[in-house]
Amino acid sequence: MRLFYKVYIFLILMLIVILAGAGYISYRREVSLFNEDMKKDALLLGNALSGMVEHTWKVSGPEKALELIRDANTKERSIGIRWVSLDFPAAGMEAPTVPLKEIAPLLQGEPVSLTMKNANRGLWRFTYIPVPTEAGAHRAIELSESFVLLDQYMKNSLFHFILTAAMILLAAGGVLWYHFKKWIHQPLALFTEKSRRIGQGDLAPDLVVMGRDEFAVLGQTLNDMCRDLSASLETVRRENRRRIEALEQLRHSERLATLGRLSAGMAHEIGTPLNVISGRSRMIRSGDLDRDEVVAFSAIIEEQAQRITKIMQGLLDFARRRKPDKTPQDMETIVKQVLDMLAPAASKARAVFKVIRHGDIPKVPMDTIQVQQVLTNIVLNGIQAMEKGGQLEVELDVERKSHPEADVAAKAYLSIRIKDEGKGIPAEHLQHLFDPFFTTKEVGQGTGLGLSIAYGIIEEHGGWIEVDSTPGQGTCFTVFLPF
């Protein structure tokens, strides 16, 4: 209801301004009317009294005339009446209250009515009516009336004005609160709740707003938006599933391509134990061996069969398609599995493996097959880069690094540094190394997708790959994985 209070405060301010303006105008009008009424009443009373005083002066003498004025002053409670002389302005009972220069028209026989503020008694109206008496004398009746009644009237009016304004504001606030809650607050509460549910993924078009006003139109628009978002989200999910399936197919194809590159070495690696098994089997079947020799040859056959099983199991695990499954794994074990699988290719290329571990290596949450694919691709590239043979090092360590593509603080990562002694990579090729279909190999020896797929896999694991190469000295790939 904070919006209601803002609207209500604005309404109060507007009403106060309007009522204050109307009150001020009414106050000025009342003062003006009251002042005019006082002036008219004083002139009427003064003129009537002037005629009576003039008549009494002529008929009964000055004493009777002055007695008449005193009687009139006694009877009038709100108006003071005095007999003043304009010929003696210095002081005395008959001197006018207002200075002579302010009432000069009296000397020409014209009545004068004006207001004057008395320092001790407030604002007063003084009215002077000339009264002709003996020749050469200037006499007048002074009528004085205080504005106290006006002040009291205006105070009472102000009180009633404030009371009326307060009642109007309270009544307006009550009516506004009722209609605001019914027509604005309740629809806004519905919109707020619906927006919160949309943010949480609830796209059901179930918002109901009664009426035909703008809120009803907005509610219908939100429902239409939910339908569109739901349809778009389903499309995105469908396309994402297709993309993932295509990506898995691409990665599987790359694994099969890698197996093809290893096939020649594998045929030799499997052929040797098969020859051994075949030869020992024939000798056992000949029956020319004693019991101890049969046992020894059987052990050799079992050892060679296990060797073949290990090689084939490694190849099958590498080539098998399955759903990604990230679980904590020992990286040193995975590295050794990859190197064992690539040992025939390394032997054929006269390459030697060396594994270096610095301290304790923590387990890392990963998909084993995907990470094996990354390491296999990088190690196999290193083997092929060493045309004259050499040493390929795999170094495991823990380093504090900042992710190059994320604005986050440095933290610990597991690093797998793979260094070969090959011919190196030209500097102009380094920036394109992870681009899809980029390759420097001859046609038929590579798809150009291996390193691109490898980088994508490591990115999905929250890491990245760095490359450092010096032509003629070798290349170093460093894989960083969070743990």
**CB under 8 Å to 116, separation ≥6 — which residues?**
97, 98, 102, 123, 124, 126
Q: 37-51, 184-198, 347-361, 465-479: lowest mean pLDDT where?
A: 184-198
For residue 92, what pLDDT is reported?
Answer: 45
- Name the more confident of 473 and 213: 473
What token pair was written down for 369? 């097959």
Q: Pick the most confident of 140-144, 155-159, 188-192, 452-456.
A: 140-144
Top pLDDT among 28 and 440 is at 28
Could you please state the CATH topology (level 3) that the domain comprising 322-483 is classified under: Heat Shock Protein 90 (3.30.565)
Question: What is d(CA 24, CA 161) in angstroms, rounded to the nearest whole number?
Answer: 11
Give me the helix-helix angle, 214-286 and 291-319, nearest 10°.
160
Q: Which residues contact 480 (CB under 8 A, 6 or more apart)?
A: 399, 401, 413, 414, 415, 458, 463, 464, 465, 466
The CATH 3.30.450.20 domain(s) of the chain lie at 2-156
Q: pLDDT at position 322, please?
A: 53
Percent of the chain clearing pLDDT 90 (strictly above)? 16
What average pLDDT does the chain have? 82
Whether the predicted pLDDT of 121 surpasses 80 = no
pLDDT at position 328 = 93
Angle, CA of 131, 137 and 142, to the nearest 5°: 40
Highest mean pLDDT among 71-85, 185-199, 200-214: 71-85
Average pLDDT over residues 98-108: 86
Q: Is 257 helix (H, G, I), strand (E, B) or coil?
A: helix
User: Of the given ranges (30-34, 204-208, 252-256, 433-437), which has the lowest mean pLDDT?
Assistant: 252-256
Where along the chain do the CATH 3.30.565.10 domains lie?
322-483
- For the stretch 55-97, pLDDT in tens is 888 888 888 888 888 888 888 778 889 888 887 654 445 788 8
Residue limits of CATH 1.10.287 in the chain: 203-315
pLDDT exceeds 90 at position 131: no
Question: Each residue of 16-26: pLDDT tens digit?
Answer: 888 788 878 88
- pLDDT at residue 354 greater than cutoff 90: yes
What is the CATH topology of the domain spanning 2-156? Beta-Lactamase (3.30.450)
User: Which of the listed CATH numbers 1.25.40, 2.60.40, 1.20.140, 1.10.287 matches domain 203-315?
Assistant: 1.10.287
More confident residue, 440 or 38: 38
Residue 317 has pLDDT above 60, yes or no: no
Question: Which alpha helices (H) appear in 126-213, and where do they start and end?
Answer: 148-180, 186-199
In the DSSP assignment, the letter for residue 33 is H
Q: What is the pLDDT of residues 429-477, one digit of tens each?
A: 888 888 776 676 654 455 566 788 788 889 888 899 999 998 888 999 9
Average pLDDT of the segment spanning 184-203: 81
3-class DSSP assignment, residue 138: coil
**Phi/psi of residue 434, nearest 5 degrees:** -100, 10
Please tell me whether the overall predicted TM-score, pTM, comes out greater than 0.75 for this model: no
pLDDT at res. 120:
67
Amino acid identity of residue 311, one-letter, is I
